[in-house]
Amino acid sequence: MTKITLYFKNLLASLVMFSSLLIGAQDGTYEIREVIPARPTCELPLGEYVGQISIPRAPETAARMDSNNDPCANFVVNYNGFTPEAQAAFQYAVDIWAFSIESSVPINVSATFTSLGQGVLGSAGPATLLTSSVAGTIPNTFYPAALWEKLEGEDRSPFGGTNDINANFNNTTNWYYGTDANPPAGQIDFVTVVLHELGHGLGFTDGWATVTPSFPDDIGSIREPNNNIPAIYAHFIENGSGTDILSLADPSAALGAELTGNDLYCNSPTAIQQLNQGGTLPKLYAPTAWSGGSSISHWDNATFPIGDINSLMRSSVSAGVANHNPGFITLGFFQDMGWGICPGALSVEDFAVSNVAVSPNPFVDEITVTLNKAYSDSFELNLIDINGRLIMSQKSDASNGRLTLSNLSDLDDSLYFVKITNSTTGNNITKKVIKN
């Protein structure tokens, strides 16, 4: 395979852009576009003090970590300016993520203590984002480096070791470096902040969302401006009326109004399932005043208040508060973006994910759902596209634990989700499938 790499530097845009062109499309090679953001996804502020609150590790994660089991992912961290106790706390946070997500490719992190300005605890984001054409990915979509490598099954650098995540932490903050999730009232739990920032580096990132002041209406944009391509995260955002955020003109006043309308939601099927077994969509943080580094790239503060098990990725961290759990809805969202999830890390009722198989995957014309416990209950099967639109719905009784969706050959080649709902209990499971 021949590879030619082209380098461009755009002085007008707020990023440096690299484009890698793979020659020979007829033999299965393809073009990869790569961009390096000039700013981190998140600049995490200190929140108001609300008292001492502790959310420990998820029991399944704690059990695997404490039993010295092999992690589901391997993080390699380059520490800059860390004391031994800070490094130990950072590694503890890394291990929580390593026992939550799956990847066969090492995830390389650059972690630095530095001055970040008053009230800023940390900042982080993907070191770079890239497009992919492997099965199951969305064309013309940027994926954070660590996720891209997981999907591609290889390091993007032929020599390995290239940073996937850049994370910075304020060297003037009064940190608590303990790992017991019990910080004193006047200290900031370092493990919580590291978990939060790594979450952004792994994919909880809007990409290039911004709102620019203008008259008579502010102008919003969400795609990378040079390539007009969104990040994978943006494919899962819709407003309260069900309008896909990517269906709006970009840039436009209409998009600006949505980004500051306090009415944006994540339509990730697995995240929805994890929140409430398939009802209300998880709400995103979209305040009426645009806040760069916070807006869109966090869960809504009011919906997920401090103390909620899913509150790690809200927009601030307060003194005396610890959250050592990535949260079921965040992990569900990560799964739908393409991450593998460690067995047991997601909450499942009624029937276990491991007991439900969908085949063939990729599919051409038909999907068979096999319930290994040989359920004979009635089920509803919903086929949902990447934008959250219902493509097909079918109700049927399981026959010897099997359900079938047929006549699918006319569907576009893409990523889909099969939502399997027990009509009696209402409990459900969502599986990702590929039409190819």
Tens-level pLDDT at each residue, the chain (436 residues): 333 333 333 322 334 444 444 423 344 566 889 998 877 888 999 999 999 999 999 988 999 999 988 999 999 999 999 999 999 999 999 999 999 999 999 999 999 999 998 899 999 999 999 999 888 899 999 999 999 999 999 998 866 668 999 999 999 999 999 999 999 999 999 999 999 999 999 999 988 999 999 999 999 999 999 999 999 999 999 999 999 999 999 999 999 999 999 999 999 998 998 887 556 899 999 999 999 989 999 999 999 999 999 999 999 999 999 999 999 999 999 999 999 998 878 865 445 555 688 888 889 999 988 875 545 567 889 999 887 788 999 988 776 678 899 999 999 888 898 988 877 666 677 888 888 8
Q: Looking at the domain assignment, is residue 24 inside a domain?
A: no
Q: Looking at the domain assignment, is residue 1 inside a domain?
A: no
| Tokens read off for 74 | 């391997």
Pair 59, 123 in one domain:
yes
Pair 281, 365 in one domain:
no
| Tokens read off for 224 | 């990378």
Q: Please name the amino acid found at residue 210.
A: T
CATH of the domain at 359: 2.60.40.3080
Residue 418's domain comprises 353-435
| Count: domains in the chain | 2
**Under a CB-based contact definition with an 8 Å cutoff, are residues 20 and 33 in contact?**
yes
Pair 48, 187 in one domain:
yes
Pair 242, 369 in one domain:
no
**Under a CB-based contact definition with an 8 Å cutoff, are residues 323 and 308 in contact?**
no
Pair 428, 326 in one domain:
no
Q: How many residues does the chain have?
A: 436
Pair 210, 260 in one domain:
yes
Q: Looking at the domain assignment, is residue 348 inside a domain?
A: no
How many Å apart are CA 74 and CA 72, to the nearest integer? 7
Phi, psi of 115 (to 5 degrees): -85, 125
Give the pTM: 0.81
Pair 92, 210 in one domain:
yes
Pair 399, 324 in one domain:
no
Pair 213, 264 in one domain:
yes
Helix axes 84-98, 59-66, angle to 10 degrees: 120
Q: Looking at the domain assignment, is residue 27 inside a domain?
A: no
Question: What per-residue string of b and e applies to 283-316 under the rule 16 or more CB within 10 Å gives b?
Answer: bbbbbeebbebbbbbbbbbebbebebebbbbbbb
Pair 280, 166 in one domain:
yes
Pair 196, 312 in one domain:
yes
Pair 313, 365 in one domain:
no
Q: Looking at the domain assignment, is residue 62 inside a domain?
A: yes
